[in-house]
């Protein structure tokens, strides 16, 4: 499968494919991956790489999918710790004591839309099927974060909250953060109603003309990626250190799970990242 992207690379496309960011691959002490909908063992509407346990898929198939993806991406299945997302903005610090939660162990918390760590061999896992993934790498203090930014999380400035929590716990200077945004549903495909758009108009310190695009009949296109970029820069992240994916999940729904493209009949992708040295 040909991937048309200037920001991301498709790896192992003939076996268990996964995406990586060109900019993050330059960081020697981390490994990261973003899954596709291909290369797994799930069946039916979940075919074939579904990584969510809560959508009705056979849990044995989901575990096998994780094992296959981890092997392909060079990550250790036994180091995974997962979020418990519900479109809020709580940031959870995790350590080796939390390994297995949400994968081989029950979730012990609800409402966790972001994970951070500064420990080696703790692989963060967050979930997507149109919402916006946010990757954070503190290149000086060796700390990482992943966040799930749907429209509610974006309005709630989850990206800023991750920066603040990493600063508080790990001494992160935002100037040392390398960030990546996406893949997600993009402004070409993300249509919302007036009530949703009005929440974004309330972000008065941002240039909303660059992420809210009025249509007819009180409909709007939103650019969540650009909105998150502005939130990160307001939080102190340098513009040159932010990469935005050029892959829209709905436009690329043969490769990536999209809730809108499938009318909700779908599996789920994940982002993974770990400090390896």
Please check the confidence at residue 176 and state whether its pLDDT lies above 90: yes
State the Cα–Cα distance between residues 50 and 272, nearest whole angstrom.
14
Please check the confidence at residue 250 and state whether its pLDDT lies above 90: yes
Which residue do the tokens 């291909």 mark? 38
Delimit the domains of the chain by residue range.
Answer: 8-185+242-275
What is the chain's Cα-based Rg? Answer: 17
For 84-124, write each residue's pLDDT tens digit: 999 999 999 999 999 999 999 999 999 999 999 999 999 99
For 102-111, write each residue's pLDDT tens digit: 999 999 999 9
State the Cα–Cα distance between residues 114 and 269, nearest whole angstrom.
15
State the Cα–Cα distance between residues 253 and 130, nearest whole angstrom.
10
Please check the confidence at residue 29 and state whether its pLDDT lies above 80: yes
| Average pLDDT along the chain | 97
Question: What's the confidence (pLDDT) of residue 2?
Answer: 73
Question: What's the confidence (pLDDT) of residue 261?
Answer: 98
Question: What's the confidence (pLDDT) of residue 240?
Answer: 98
Pick the CATH number of 8-185+242-275 from 3.40.50.720, 3.60.140.10, 3.90.1570.30, 3.30.450.40: 3.60.140.10
C-alpha torsion 93→94→95→96, nearest 10: 180
For 198-239, write each residue's pLDDT tens digit: 999 999 999 999 999 999 999 999 999 999 999 999 999 999
Collapsing DSSP to helix, strand or coil, 138 comes out as strand
Question: What's the confidence (pLDDT) of residue 151?
Answer: 98
Above pLDDT 70, what percent of the chain? 100
Question: What's the confidence (pLDDT) of residue 226?
Answer: 98
State the Cα–Cα distance between residues 201 and 62, nearest whole angstrom.
39
DSSP 120: B
Question: What's the confidence (pLDDT) of residue 123?
Answer: 98
Please check the confidence at residue 16 and state whether its pLDDT lies above 90: yes
Please check the confidence at residue 1 and state whether its pLDDT lies above 90: no
State the Cα–Cα distance between residues 62 and 40, nearest whole angstrom.
8
* Section 246-257 average pLDDT: 98
State the pLDDT confidence band at 4, using cuts at 50, 70 and 90: confident
Question: What's the confidence (pLDDT) of residue 140?
Answer: 98
């Amino acid at each position: 499968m040909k991937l048309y992207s200037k920001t991301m690379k498709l790896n192992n496309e003939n076996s268990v494919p996964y995406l990586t960011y060109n900019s993050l691959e330059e960081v020697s002490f981390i490994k990261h991956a973003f899954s596709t909908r291909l290369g797994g063992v799930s069946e039916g509407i979940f075919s074939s790489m579904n990584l969510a346990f809560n959508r009705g898929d056979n849990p044995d198939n989901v575990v096998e999918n994780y094992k296959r993806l981890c092997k392909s991406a060079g990550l250790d299945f036994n180091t995974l710790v997962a979020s418990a997302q519900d479109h809020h903005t709580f940031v959870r610090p995790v350590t080796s004591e939390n390994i297995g939660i949400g994968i081989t162990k029950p979730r012990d918390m609800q409402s966790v839309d972001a994970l951070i760590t500064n420990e080696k061999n703790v692989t963060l896992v967050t979930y997507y099927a149109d919402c916006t993934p946010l990757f954070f790498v503190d290149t000086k203090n060796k700390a990482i974060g992943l966040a799930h930014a749907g429209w509610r999380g974006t309005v709630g400035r989850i990206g800023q909250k991750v920066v603040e929590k990493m600063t508080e716990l790990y001494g992160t200077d935002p100037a040392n953060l390398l960030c990546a945004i996406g893949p997600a549903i993009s402004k070409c495909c993300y249509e919302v109603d007036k009530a949703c758009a009005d929440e974004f108009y309330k972000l008065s310190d941002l240039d909303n003309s660059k992420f809210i695009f009025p249509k007819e009949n009180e409909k709007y296109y939103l650019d969540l990626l650009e909105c998150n970029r502005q939130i990160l820069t307001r939080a102190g992240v340098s513009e040159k250190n932010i990469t935005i994916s050029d892959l829209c999940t709905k436009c690329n729904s043969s490769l990536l799970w999209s809730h809108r493209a499938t009318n909700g009949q779908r599996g789920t992708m994940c982002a993974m990242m770990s400090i390896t040295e």
